[in-house]
């Protein structure tokens, strides 16, 4: 199963994400989709999905090391054994197919030092490939990087930063066609060469 989850609380953006989910289903890039208002709702939907999940895309807001569903945040803190999300992430791991991909199509989620830490820890926790962006994304989606379990991030923690430092990011650049590792929202695959393997 290829699954898409998107934030349904963001008014104009939700309309675009909903339309995109219809397009992706029509193009046979996804098998199921759901708009959610929280990560708890997202995890509940994923528990209902039948069959192994080969690919999970999340469309929503992000910041460095974070993917947001309305007011709830998935981050490195969510991976702690004592965090409420951890049991839900363990349940998701059990549903992932071998060589599954979890792709955050959110602004900056894999950017700066917090984004790299999140990417590395999440791939280990899920035992799956993960992908995300270092820039603010829209039609163009720049700074796309993938990481396999056990691999270290190979991208520059300053990639995409317009202001601040990798340890204290302030503002990210907008995606542009000429920025590193750029796709458009119409593209449905992470190029294999953009993954880091151990």
Task: Give the model confidence (pLDDT) of 151-191 as tens digits.
Answer: 999 999 999 999 999 999 999 999 999 999 999 999 999 99
* pLDDT score recorded for residue 198: 83
* pLDDT score recorded for residue 86: 95
Residues forming a β-bridge with 102: 56, 130
pTM, entire model: 0.96
Q: Residue 157: which residues within 8 A CB-CB, separation 6 or more?
A: 111, 112, 113, 115, 116, 166
Q: Count how many Cα atoms sit within 13 Å of the Cα of residue 190 in the half-sphere of its side chain.
A: 26
Residue 11 has pLDDT above 90, yes or no: no
- % of the chain at pLDDT higher than 90: 97
* pLDDT score recorded for residue 34: 97
Cα separation, 70 vs 80, whole angstroms: 21
Beta strands of the chain (E only): which ranges? 2-7, 32-36, 53-59, 61-63, 66-69, 72-75, 96-105, 129-132, 140-141, 145-147, 161-164, 169-172, 183-184, 195-196
Residue 51 has pLDDT above 90, yes or no: no
* pLDDT score recorded for residue 18: 95
Find out whether 101 and 72 touch, Cβ atoms under 8 Å: no
CA nearest to 123, candidates 149, 145, 103, 142: 149
pLDDT confidence tier of residue 63, bands split at 50, 70 and 90: very high
> Mean pLDDT over all residues of the chain?
96
Q: Residue 113: which residues within 8 A CB-CB, separation 6 or more?
A: 64, 157, 166, 167, 169
Bridging pattern class, strands 72-75 and 61-63: unpaired
Domains of the chain, first to last:
2-196 (3.40.50)
Cα separation, 156 vs 24, whole angstroms: 31
Find out whether 175 and 136 touch, Cβ atoms under 8 Å: yes
Cα separation, 129 vs 171, whole angstroms: 27
- % of the chain at pLDDT higher than 70: 100
* pLDDT score recorded for residue 113: 98
Q: What is the pLDDT of residues 68-106, one digit of tens each?
A: 999 999 999 999 989 999 999 999 999 999 999 999 999
Q: Is 35 helix (H, G, I), strand (E, B) or coil?
A: strand
């Amino acid at each position: 199963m290829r699954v898409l989850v998107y934030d349904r609380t963001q008014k104009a953006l939700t309309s675009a994400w909903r339309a995109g989910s219809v397009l992706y289903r029509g193009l046979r890039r996804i098998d199921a989709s759901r708009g959610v208002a929280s990560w708890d709702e997202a995890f509940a939907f994923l528990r209902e999905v039948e069959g192994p999940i080969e690919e999970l895309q999340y469309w929503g807001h992000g910041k460095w090391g974070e993917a947001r569903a309305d007011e709830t945040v998935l981050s490195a803190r969510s991976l702690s054994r004592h965090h409420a999300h951890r049991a839900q992430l363990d349940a998701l791991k059990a549903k992932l197919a071998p060589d599954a991909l979890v792709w955050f199509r959110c602004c900056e989620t894999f950017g700066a030092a917090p984004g790299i830490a999140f990417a590395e820890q999440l791939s280990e926790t899920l035992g799956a490939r993960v992908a995300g962006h270092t820039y603010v994304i829209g039609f163009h989606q720049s700074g796309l990087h993938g990481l396999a379990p056990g691999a270290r991030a190979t991208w520059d923690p300053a990639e995409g930063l317009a202001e601040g430092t990798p340890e204290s990011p302030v503002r990210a650049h907008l995606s542009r066609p000429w920025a590193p590792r750029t796709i458009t929202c119409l593209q449905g695959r992470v190029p294999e060469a953009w993954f880091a393997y151990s």
